[in-house]
Structure 1
Amino acid sequence: MKQGATATKSVVITGASSGIGRATAIRLAGNGWRVFATVRENADGEALIAAARGALEAVVLDVRDRESIAAAAREVEARLAGRGLDGLFNNAGIGIVAPVECTPPEALRELYEINLFGQIGVTAAFLPLVRKANGRIVNMGSVGDHIAPPFAGAISSSKAAFASMSQALRLELRTQGICVCLIEPGSINTPAIEKPLGGVEKTIAALPADAAALYGEPMRRMAKTFTANERAGSPPEAVAKVVERALTDRNPATRYLVGKDAAKLVILARFLPEKFLDIAILKKFGLSPQFGKPANAASVSLPSPGRSPETFG
């Protein structure tokens, strides 16, 4: 950011209707930032404005829709009236809880459209405004960049891909004076944590009988353990505080870990031999680490087209 500026700093936050995005929007608005909080529905924007006591501005944006992204960028540019954008926080995202072999391609494509392609599209659309202010880009990653839990392959792989894109972008923009930071939360207690637990039964019900027999009980255990871990995690306000640091630190880090278990998980991923890491992950999620062929596991058929696992975000 330009040093010595006295004008109000501005930031665009995607996925601001709930959870981390909402907490970040309210925090930054309360600390004097001009916040453009993006939501998919006008009603969500009105609720967010009310929660922030009118201290922020809502912008409708659907990261899956290129025209929606372009329209939002034009709207923010017009509101800034010639000024640049000091920060962009790419936060929008969804998740899928499902076995890899039973995740329909169309569901995986939608997840990647939101978690990866949409973030790239938003970045490209707002980058001219960020460049104008020598601003910063903060991307929402996850400790799932480093560890892929069972039944979370879709979201973990998308986050790993986004982390790689974030690194490349950071190097590409370095000589332009634009910092790019990645936030990597561990367990965070947000409203989204209830969705895997509530949605897992729908996902299991949509599986063919043989797949449900193989994966049903392990999925229930994983969802239950995951939800318990998240409930015991840090509040979204803890992430919001770190996002503000990433936007304002004089010498920002390339990655910021946040959450009670984030550092521990990343250290395990980096230094524990992979075979031992596999065992640790399975035990963490209440699953058996024993290697062997399950009974009646000759083959598993994929779900029929149009039957997608439950998503959360």
Structure 2
Amino acid sequence: MHDHAPGIRGASNQRLLAVSLTLTATVMVVQIIGAILTGSLALLADAAHMFTDSSALVIALIASIIAARPANDRNTYGYQRAEVFGALANAVILLVLCAWIAVEAIGRLLNPSEIEVEGGLMLVVALIGLVANGVALYLLSAAQKHSINVRGAYLEVLGDLVGSAMVIVAAIVIALTGWMPADALASLAIAVLIVPRAISLLREVFSVLGERAPKGTDVQEIRDHILGADGVVDVHDVHVWQLTRGQPVFTAHVVVDDLALASGRSGALLAQLQSCLAEHFDVEHSTFQLEPAGHLEHDAH
């Protein structure tokens, strides 16, 4: 299923990434200024996250443009894997950022007397970040379901949104009670919340690069559908993987009875199998090798 909603949310991945980059870069500048004026580590950590996200969105945007290039004799599947490498870079950047935030936050907690944060201004800047991240998250929410590259950018913006919420809580605590360690605790919370999403993205990247069956794909169910076609005796050498999120590829050897081959129904059977994969399993790219029953004995397993 694809999102065909009108307006900017239904725009191309490149346009969505460009808009998100503009929002992220603008808020980053605001947060850096706010961090300098307030002395807030949480704002500085969120600004660093924004800077990393800006870099990651640039990577995602470039990868999206490269992925749109047509296939050629050297790259027969095209350049869609560029999205996967862009997502890999995003995940690594997230993990490095989390480590930096954690070290800085622990340092401040061990030396609380050195902390002096202006809670009122900190709250205003954090609210600006929350609104901007909310807009970017909404714009990317539909496209991230079909592109691992956009999903990487989406997860980073989601991390920013949660981070802004944490900064708001810390700012309110500081403004009302004057308890400065709340700033460092908010920074640490940002790191803790980001790590699971980064690891989840890494797992998906390695799943694609390892050519594992896409999540939610039941290979046995696909076998059963193929075996249910009239004239099919057996199916073997089944392989299903994905070039990137939402781009599954399927191949199989299908053993067909002699009557189906002799009657010239091979073309119709092939069209039936390809339609079955497209309609029931959302696999647009499928390749079938039709074989007579005796050919199975000569195949290496």
TM value normalised by structure 1? 0.29
Between Structure 1 and Structure 2, the one with more helix by share is: 2
TM-score, L = length of structure 2: 0.30
The answer to which structure, 1 or 2, has the higher relative contact order (CA under 8 A, 6+ apart) is 1
- Rg larger for: 2
